[in-house]
C-alpha cells in the first residue's frame, strides 16, 4: 500500500511539473505610432490594417483594425497610438505567422483598396518564452527603418508612412479571450479561412 501511495505521489509530482512547463503565454502586437510622410491621395487617405494570422495549431483568421467600415484619416494620425492590432494566447510550442498590411480604403465599392505595405511577424511560445522575428517582403514597398528593429517604412501606391510596432508578452488573464480585442474597437470579424 505504501508503494502504491509513493508511486501515485511521484506520478502527481511529474504531472504537475509537466503542467508547469506546458503553460500558455499571452502575446500581443501594438501599433505604437503611425506617421504620414506622404498620402497616396491628394485629399488624404482613409487607412486601416488587414490582420491575417496563420497558427500551427488552429485555423487561419483574418480581420481589420479598426473594424469595417471604420478607418483612420491620414490627417489625424497623431491621435492613433498604442492600438492593439493582434493578441493571442499561445499554447506550448505553438508558432504563429501574423501579416499586418496597411491599406488605403477607397470609398466606391467598385474601386479596389490600395496596399501601402505590409510586414510579417513570426512568433512562438518556446517553453513559456516568447520568441519572435519581424520580416519584410522582398519588394520595394516596405523597408526596415534605419537603426530600428520594429519601425518600418511603407511606400506603396505613391504614399509614404512610418509605422512602429511592438510585439510583447503580457500577463495572462484567466478570462482573456483569444486575439483581436482591437483596444476596445470591437471584436474582429469572423471571416472564413482562406
User: Which helix (H) or strand (E) segment is 20 a member of?
Assistant: helix 2-21
For residue range 84-142, list pLDDT tens digits in order.
999 999 999 999 999 999 999 987 777 789 999 999 999 999 999 999 999 998 777 88
Name the one residue in this structure whose C-alpha cell is 505504501: 2
pLDDT surpassing 90 at residue 74:
yes
Contacting residues for 111 by C-beta, under 8 A, at least 6 apart: none
Q: How far is CA 186 from the centre of its chain?
A: 15
Q: Which sign, positive or negative, has the C-alpha torsion 6, 9, 11, 13?
A: negative
Q: Report if residue 76 sits inside a domain.
A: yes
Fill in the DSSP letter of residue 16. H
Q: Report if residue 67 sits inside a domain.
A: yes
Q: Report if residue 63 sits inside a domain.
A: yes
pTM of the model: 0.79
Q: Report if residue 177 sits inside a domain.
A: yes
Q: Report if residue 12 sits inside a domain.
A: no
For residue range 12-28, list pLDDT tens digits in order.
444 444 444 569 999 99
Give the structural domain span for 149.
24-184
Rounded distance, CA 95 to CA 13, Å? 28
Q: Report if residue 189 sits inside a domain.
A: no
The number of distinct structural domains making up the chain is 1
Give the CATH number for residue 69.
2.60.40.150
Cell numbers of 118, please?
505590409
Instruction: Give the angle 113-47-87 at the CA atoms, nearest 5°.
Output: 105
β 25-38/81-90 pair status: antiparallel
Q: Report if residue 15 sits inside a domain.
A: no
Amino acid at each position: 500500500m505504501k508503494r502504491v501511495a509513493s508511486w501515485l505521489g511521484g506520478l502527481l509530482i511529474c504531472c504537475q511539473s509537466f503542467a508547469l512547463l506546458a503553460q500558455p503565454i499571452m502575446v500581443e502586437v501594438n501599433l505604437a505610432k503611425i506617421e504620414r510622410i506622404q498620402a497616396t491621395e491628394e485629399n488624404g487617405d482613409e487607412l486601416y490594417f488587414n490582420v491575417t494570422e496563420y497558427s500551427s495549431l488552429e485555423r487561419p483568421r483574418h480581420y481589420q483594425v479598426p473594424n469595417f467600415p471604420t478607418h483612420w484619416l491620414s490627417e489625424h494620425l497623431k491621435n492613433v497610438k498604442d492600438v492593439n492590432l493582434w493578441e493571442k494566447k499561445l499554447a506550448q510550442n505553438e508558432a504563429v505567422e501574423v501579416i499586418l498590411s496597411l491599406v488605403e480604403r477607397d470609398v466606391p465599392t467598385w474601386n479596389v483598396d490600395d496596399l501601402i505595405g505590409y510586414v510579417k511577424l513570426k512568433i512562438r511560445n518556446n517553453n513559456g518564452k516568447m520568441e519572435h522575428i519581424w520580416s519584410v517582403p522582398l519588394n520595394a514597398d516596405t523597408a526596415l527603418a534605419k537603426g530600428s528593429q520594429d519601425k518600418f517604412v511603407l511606400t506603396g501606391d505613391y504614399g509614404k508612412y512610418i509605422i512602429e510596432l511592438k510585439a510583447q508578452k503580457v500577463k495572462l488573464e484567466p478570462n482573456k479571450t483569444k486575439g483581436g480585442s482591437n483596444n476596445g474597437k470591437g471584436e474582429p470579424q469572423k471571416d472564413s479561412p482562406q
